[in-house]
Amino acid sequence: MPDETLVANPLLAPSPLPHGLPHFALIRDEHYREAFDRGMAEHLAEVDSIAGDPAPPTFENTLVALERVGQTLSRTSLAFFGTSSSLATDAVQAIEEEYAPRLTAHADAVRLDPRLYARIRAVHDDEAAMAALDPESRRLVERHLTEMTVAGAGLDESAKDRLRELNGRLAGLGTQFEKRLLADSNDLAVLVDDVAALDGLTAGEISAAAAAAAEHGHDGAWLLTLVLPTGHPHLASLTDRDLRRRLHEAQSSRGNRDNANDTKALVLETVRLRAERARLLGYDTHAAAALADSTARTPERVMDLLGRLAPAAARNIEAERALLEEEAGHPVEAHDWAFWAERVRASRYAVDLAAMRPYFEAERVLRDGIFHAAGLLYGLTFHERDDLEGYHPDVRVFEVHDADGTPFGLYLLDLHTRDTKKGGAWMNSLVHQNTLLGRTSAVVCNNLNVPNPGPGEPTLLTYDETRTLFHEFGHAIHGLLARVTYPHFAGTRVFRDFVEYPSQVNEMWMLWPEVLRSYAVHHETGEPMPQELVDRLVAAQSFGEGFATGEYLAAALLDQAWHAIDVEEAAHVTDVGAFEQSALAAVGLANPLVPPRYRSTYFAHTFSYAYDAQYYAYIWSEVLDADTVAWFRENGGLTRANGDRYRRHVVGIGGAADPLESYREFRGADADIRHLLERRGLG
Ligand SMILES: [Zn+2]
């Protein structure tokens, strides 16, 4: 029986609102269920008729046809997943739990369809027809083919059975890894029976430790619970050296105690099965398979980058060690590093971030900082549209106009924290631009978790919140400016090792003198921010980068090393610790003072969180970021000419072109790692 409330389900047709903004005022939770159900059924039927088309496969009847279908499903997914973290009510979470696995199964049914795969391959293998396509269309064929190949669509039935087995077993191993790691972390939490040993911690941290102890049945004691990375934050402040040693040893031994929670066997089996799966899919190693879908493209290029950064990090670690030992008056060990680094920071690079806050009034940061910079660079203007409704009354809606006045899309801002919002900050697309379906504009949304000010008080952002807003707005600009033909390439649908790059670049405008002067004025006195505050901050930024870069690179290298071995090599690895040691030594990062940010036995990103062979992505995009910042500096900074060039080759192209080729057109050269080294003081 059709439910009356669903008769006018607004998700079942394109929204009539400006720029296709979802009609949130009319959307009820139950509309999502119906629209997902109908959307998946409709999409499957559409895909089935493309796959079963008796006509010989062509670009038009296969690829373009695929891009045109599934509109109800994509409209619904964008509206739902674009808001589900901002309005995570029980009802929304229940829909998410129910539909996430069904949507995954749906996506698998499409990308593993052997008929579809055969058609796409036939289009791809027709060299003359491919040569006649425009570059974006050619890329569309290649991307679809690679994505389906990596998923296993090209396998025969028995190979597909083995693939399903491997995927199932690997998923189970990932879950086991996470479970054992959690259990071992809990077992290893450090119990302290004398509060004097906690000297250096804040009152809040001490009472949290007392509460944790009570919760675990140790009334009257203190329990230091562990964190995921090797370095525990308390190591920077605990004055008791012996306690620091205990805490560091607990952190480092997780998953490596030959007990029921040991993870070494899971690591070895995971690595073996991933290598086997890669071979099944036609790749030498798991890293090669994982990087087929990346900007880097091959494990060799990732290793080349990491290998070139490693010596600079190792040199700086030595220089930092000398400073720390001078301050300490004795040789430092791994558990001393953060403590003495903090002392050196306080004595030589003190920065008063709290003193900056009165200059970061949210509305001014937004209008006179972030929008102002986007105006100078890209010619964009922003007009608040009070007549348009977001998904919550807190959400503000701005219409974006291009330099010639053309309305260009909508920018939604959901700045403040609330009970139904998940933590963190992020950007979502609610509507994707693409000319194939006649969508001329995009709708994007930024979320932050800034606490609400008291009644009548202005919202003053912290230094970090201000930087986060510039960062997230960089993602928003990326989503807004993309101009593509096919939905597959819309907005920020780019590779994982590329997606953070434009947002990191946008952070540069926060302290750019012209922008800072425009927005950073004291909210009461109207005085500009003292230059001295900014100078101290800049001076402090590169201290500690030897350690930070070294521990990150060590982890990224381990992640690559474990996945750069083939089936035969994987069969011979039996000692996790020895493998780890030799992989680190090979690049000069086996320094016991600076252990990897994650050791293999607790490297959840790579053995459980699906970052396998991709943990390098952070520094890969930062190399592009630093090189781009250098380009802006060399070419006069914040000008329309620079913005237009960056837009034309980088932020305006979505996923429609090869990112590194476009980068080369923008820069006139490949990104030079020198700029990242300089930024981090590693030159
Ligand atoms: Zn980001």
Separation of 503 CA from ligand 1 center, angstroms? 6
Residue 353 is predicted with a pLDDT of 86
Over residues 480-533, the pLDDT tens digits come to 999 999 999 999 999 989 999 999 999 999 999 999 999 999 999 999 999 999
- The 3-class SS string of 191-256 reads EECCHHHHCCCCHHHHHHHHHHHHHCCCCCCEEECCCCCCCCHHHHCCCCHHHHHHHHHHHHCCCC
Question: Who contacts 450 (Cβ-Cβ below 8 Å, separation ≥6)?
Answer: 362, 415, 416, 417, 459, 461, 465
Residue 1 is predicted with a pLDDT of 43
Over residues 349-365, the pLDDT tens digits come to 888 888 999 999 999 99
Which of 121-125, 607-611, 646-650 is least confident? 607-611
Helices (H), 349-444: 362-364, 372-378
Separation of 502 CA from ligand 1 center, angstroms? 9
For residues 516 and 370, give the distance between their C-alpha atoms in angstroms, rounded to a whole number.
Answer: 10
Separation of 471 CA from ligand 1 center, angstroms? 6
Q: pLDDT at residue 572 above 60?
A: yes
Secondary structure of residue 482 in the 3-state scheme: coil
Residue 541 is predicted with a pLDDT of 84
Q: pLDDT at residue 104 above 90?
A: no
DSSP state of 63: I
Q: What is the mean pLDDT of residues 10-26?
A: 96
Separation of 494 CA from ligand 1 center, angstroms? 13
Q: What is the mean pLDDT of residues 313-332?
A: 95
Separation of 247 CA from ligand 1 center, angstroms? 31
Q: Which of 264-293 are b and which e, b meaning 16 or more Cβ less than 10 Å from the residue's Cβ?
A: bebbbebbbbbbbbbbbbebebbbbbbbbb
Separation of 578 CA from ligand 1 center, angstroms? 35
Q: What is the amino acid identity at position 338?
A: A
- Which tokens in the block code for residue 244? 């620091």
Separation of 404 CA from ligand 1 center, angstroms? 29
Residue 7 is predicted with a pLDDT of 60
Partnered with residue 443 across adjacent β-strands are 410, 431
Separation of 447 CA from ligand 1 center, angstroms? 11
- Which tokens in the block code for residue 441? 């504009």
Separation of 445 CA from ligand 1 center, angstroms? 13
Which of 49-53, 98-102, 476-480, 555-559 is least confident? 98-102
Partnered with residue 361 across adjacent β-strands are 460
Q: What is the pTM of this model?
A: 0.91
Cβ atoms of 294 and 611 within 8 Å: the answer is no
| 545 carries an active-site annotation | no
Task: Specify the CATH class of 4-154 in words.
Answer: mainly alpha
Domain 356-540 has CATH 1.10.645.10: no
Place of tokens 């520094």: 619
Over residues 593-644, the pLDDT tens digits come to 999 999 999 999 999 988 999 999 999 999 999 999 999 999 999 999 999 9
Delimit the domains of the chain by residue range.
4-154, 180-252, 356-540
Separation of 273 CA from ligand 1 center, angstroms? 32
Residue 610 is predicted with a pLDDT of 85
Separation of 197 CA from ligand 1 center, angstroms? 39
Over residues 432-460, the pLDDT tens digits come to 999 999 999 999 999 999 999 988 999 99
- The catalytically annotated residue of 399, 472, 500, 551 is 472
Separation of 615 CA from ligand 1 center, angstroms? 15
Separation of 258 CA from ligand 1 center, angstroms? 38
Separation of 472 CA from ligand 1 center, angstroms? 6
- Which tokens in the block code for residue 514? 């012209």
Common-topology check for domains 4-154 and 356-540:
yes
Q: pLDDT at residue 2 above 60?
A: no
Separation of 496 CA from ligand 1 center, angstroms? 11
Separation of 495 CA from ligand 1 center, angstroms? 13
- Which tokens in the block code for residue 33? 């269920």
Residue 497: name the closest of 608, 614, 613, 660 by CA.
614
Binning pLDDT at 50, 70 and 90, where does residue 4 land?
low
Cβ atoms of 378 and 477 within 8 Å: the answer is yes
For residues 438 and 374, give the distance between their C-alpha atoms in angstroms, rounded to a whole number.
Answer: 26
